[in-house]
Amino acid sequence: MGFIHIAFLSFLFVCTYAASPPNFVLIFADDLGFGDLGCYGHPSSLTPNLDRLAAGGLRFTNFYCTSPVCSPSRASLLTGRYQTRSGIYPGVLYPGSIGGLPLNETTIAELLKPLGYATAAVGKWHLGVGANGKFLPTRQGFDEYLGIPYSHDMGPCHNLTCFPPDVKCFGMCDLGTVMVPLMHNEVIKQQPVNFLDLEQAYSDFSTSFIAAAAARNEPFFLYYASHHTHYPQYAGLGAAGKTSRGPFGDALLEFDNTVGNLLATLESTGVINNTLVFFTSDNGPSLMRMSRGGNAGALKCGKGTTYDGGMREPAIAFWPGMIKPGVSHELASTLDILPTIAQLAGAKVPPVELDGVDMTEILLNHGKSQRDTMMFYPTDASETFGLFALRLRKYKAHFYTQGSIHSSTTPDKDCSGLALLKPHDPPLLFDVEADPSEHYPLLLDDHPHLQELLEKIKRVKEKFESSMLFGESQISKGTDPQLEPCCNPLCSPKPSCCQCH
């Protein structure tokens, strides 16, 4: 009788679970550093909603993205594969790029669609537009899309903030490109986009999507890739001038407000206990923007570099009743999100070489990571140079170091664009737990036992690189100005005529 009772309860559990697979809300910030959030120690950021996620969820301290710049990092997030496999290298995609994330790559959205998930992408795509929009989110498993399909500095600057009024870009944007468009699915809705209303539009679209899916009792996947806090910073009425941190702080606050709206909607629609909310960022802070760039906290350098400031990110997993609040020091990556979502949803992982590992054990039991390595490719990844650095558990070995214009203006000369490519043989070795700032290389003379470790690192590197098949570079296909999104495609002279009111 007892057995039957237990068997019945298990059956009931399976049925209930199968009837309501979990929802996923993946929130991706832009150029946000390890030290930018209140819950990661920033003294003047206002991030009450992200702090609430961290307080009620699991906050990671060893979480990495796969590239110090936008497009490659996003390719890895959505495919669970290093960007070199999918061809999103070297550098980033542009409005007129001929290539994009290849359609035969399986994104998280495509993984979930066969299970009946409603899917939406909101915000910055940056994985290509292409001829007739063939690389847009709607071609990669997303039912709906609202957003700017690339970075919002990839067009002439216009008014970006309402406090003080009429403040334009602080620096240069891309003047020879079409005005920045706002797209709904595959149609241009506004060109130029109105930045003062943009975050509210994103928030309304996202909360409507959640409410509609919840009302239909459908599982859903929302990918919200915010343009905040990338340069140039913008903010609407609700946030402009409201923080002591200036334009970056205002942009971050406006982003945080949307996080609050998403949480409130998950609560009011009654699905919050069946939703994994995961937050992280695509790459480290753009230190060249000085106080209008982000902050890498204790980490070395920022955007554009393979030091930890360029690629170690804040990350928070929140799921009331399923994830116990706490902090995880386990090694994890954006690569691991796809296999983890697959595991939780009961989806099949794609039959390709995946670089991600399932991290449900970390999330649900505060357990150990299946990952003990992290590979670091530079902005301009190439087969010639291969890995710039490799982390094996607490050790990080740099085979090459190079500064970046994105990380210039810091007092640390290694970060600047003037710090040229430098090979290291033997590699420059750090214990990034004892020395997260990568200040003090471990010297073989002082630590002779490290010889064995270096040999192991060399073997891991060789094994990984022999498994790495570089996909055809999508970015080297170049650009065609005719492919830049234009609301008035037959107009002239371009790009200035691409404006619609």
Catalytic residues: 70, 126
Task: Give me the residue whose beta carbon is nearest to Mg ion.
Answer: 70
Closest CB to Mg ion among residues 261, 283: 283
CB-CB contact of 287 with 407 (8 Å): yes
**Nearest residue (CB) to Mg ion, 190 versus 226:** 226
**Distance between CA atoms of residues 333 and 319, nearest Å:** 18
Nearer to Mg ion, 35 or 57 (CB): 35
Residue 452 in tokens: 């064995």
Q: How far is CA 81 from CA 27, 349, 434, 470, in A?
A: 19, 12, 29, 11
For residue 281, which of 31, 25, 53, 81 has the smallest C-alpha distance? Answer: 31
Q: Output the CA angle 394-395-396, nearest 5 degrees.
A: 125
List the x/- string, 61-80, binding to Mg ion by CB under 5 A: ---------x----------
Computed on alpha carbons and rounded to an integer, the radius of gyration of the chain in Å comes to: 22
CA-to-CA dists, residue 475 to 71, 254, 478, 479, angstroms? 10, 32, 6, 8
30 contributes a contact to Mg ion by CB under 5 A? yes
Q: Which of 245, 202, 246, 193 is nearest to 226 (CA)?
A: 202
Give residues 109-128 in contact with Mg ion (rule: CB under 5 A).
none
| Shortest Å, Cβ 344 to Mg ion | 27
Length reported for the chain? 501
Q: Tell me the closest approach of the beta carbon of residue 123 to Mg ion, in angstroms.
A: 12
Strands 23-29 and 275-281: parallel
How many CB atoms lie under 10 A from the CB of residue 373? 16
The Cα–Cα gap between 145 and 139 comes to: 10
Q: Would you give the distance in Å from CA 425 to the centre of its chain?
A: 32
Q: Are 23 and 219 in contact (CB under 8 A)?
A: yes
Q: Which is nearer to Mg ion, 27 or 162 (CB)?
A: 27
Q: How many CB atoms lie within 10 A of CB 384?
A: 5
Q: How far is the CB of 320 from Mg ion (least distance, A)?
A: 30
Q: Among residues 202, 191, 196, 198, which one has the least CA distance to residue 155?
A: 191
The first and second tokens of residue 233, run together, are: 């910073």
Q: Which is nearer to Mg ion, 28 or 318 (CB)?
A: 28
Nearer to Mg ion, 228 or 391 (CB): 228
Contact indicator for 178, 95 with CB cutoff of 8 Å = yes
SS percent in the chain: helix, strand, coil, step 5: 30, 20, 50
> Which of 22, 31, 71, 332 is the binder for Mg ion (CB under 5 A)?
31
Closer residue to Mg ion, CB minimum distance, 117 or 231: 231
Q: Where along the sequence are the contacts to Mg ion (CB under 5 A)?
A: 30-31, 70, 282-283
